[in-house]
Structure 1
Amino acid sequence: MRTVTKQATEWLAAAATDPRDCKRRWQGYQGIAVLPCGRFWDVLSVPEELGVRALDALLCIPQAPGPVLADTVARRVGFFLPPDPEGRWVGSDVRYLGRGAWITVPAPRPAPGRFRWLVPPDGTGTLFVPAAVELALQQALGTLAAQASAQRWCPTCGAATAGIS
């Protein structure tokens, strides 16, 4: 496990303009560094509820997963994808971070704080296949839409209640 973490640290830090400074920042009080997108990876950031459901679907396929980062304060999930100069991802509340964008990342090990790895990098450079992420997001959207249509609202207080079919 220690070798994987070291490889992942080296892989992530290599994206920094100053890899040694990046590693020092991970050792510091906050344990985070800001890294550029567009060179080794791009990041597709989606709302947490959608991202977690899509990740569940992605973890069921036999392909090795890429890194997935959660921002617990902003309630967003970021999927690491191969760099795409076109960045044609569109959707409600979807943010595509490519060349020219920066992302805050913790060291690739369990740590407290706002940013957490749901799937840490493995150190080999494995990234998600964009088509698989797109399919998983569509599947997750369908599930969320079905759940929303099944919700009933209390006429007295307006709170959501489970629908009775």
Structure 2
Amino acid sequence: MHDMRWKQAVEWLAAAALDPQECKRQWDHGEGTALLAAGRYWDVLSVPDRLGLLALDLLWSDPLELPGPTLVDVMARRVGFFLPPDPGSEWVGFGVRHVGRGSWVAVPPPYRPSGRLEWLVPPDGSGTLHAAEPLERALRRATGTLAVLAPVSADQGGPDCW
């Protein structure tokens, strides 16, 4: 059963590639990542890692709102939330980037990390994505929490200060 879920997730992700077969070859035998087109099946909201990790934790705390696919780039220190395509959406915030139609996203296979990219919540193959409203609420709450913690971090000094 577990293998079937990964197969569905691979097919779902690879469908966003120009050449799904080449995408799967890249995952299995190439660099381990593939460039996939955003804006058709999903958009990605990329945020700084501290904000994204806290928001994801808040999303996990609500049993009625299971998080959708979420990717982390450990070197760039960014978290990417996969959400439904919405060319008219306006996500605003410090370090927030909305990646939609006309953009490409480097993606590892759903069954293992690849280099600097790793799934925090891998896709399940069903097409489930983050819903915009709960994600926005979680990001707002996380921003408020980080704003309260920022003065404490600033007093301590170090590279994590804002």
- For structure 2, the residue ranges without an aligned partner over 5 or more in a row are none
Which string of whole-angstrom CA distances, capped at 9 and with x for unpartnered residues, describes residues 102-149 of structure 1? Answer: 000000012341100000001000001101111000100111111113
TM-score by length of 2: 0.91
**What count of residue pairs does the alignment treat as equivalent?**
156
Partners of 2:48 and 2:154 in 1: how far apart? 23
Partners of 1:127 and 1:83 in 2: how far apart? 10
Point out the structure with the larger helix share: 2
Q: Residue 25 of structure 1 aligns with which residue?
A: 26
RMSD (CA atoms): 1.4
- For structure 1, the residue ranges without an aligned partner over 5 or more in a row are 154-158
Q: Residue 93 of structure 2: SS of its match in structure 1?
A: coil
Q: Is the 8 A contact 1:87 1:98 kept in 2?
A: no
Q: Residue 113 of structure 1 aligns with which residue?
A: 115
Correspondence list, 1:133-148, <5 A: 133-148=135-150
Q: Residue 130 of structure 2 aligns with which residue?
A: 128
Tell me which structure has the larger Cα radius of gyration: 1
Which string of whole-angstrom CA distances, capped at 9 and with x for unpartnered residues, describes residues 38-95 of structure 1? Answer: 0000000000000000000011112232100001110000000000011311111100
TM-score by length of 1: 0.90
Q: Residue 30 of structure 1: SS of its match in structure 2?
A: coil
- The share of aligned pairs that are identical, in percent, is 54
Q: Residue 3 of structure 1: SS of its match in structure 2?
A: helix
Question: Deviation above 6 Å: which 4+ runs of structure 1?
Answer: none
Amino acid paired to 1:126: T
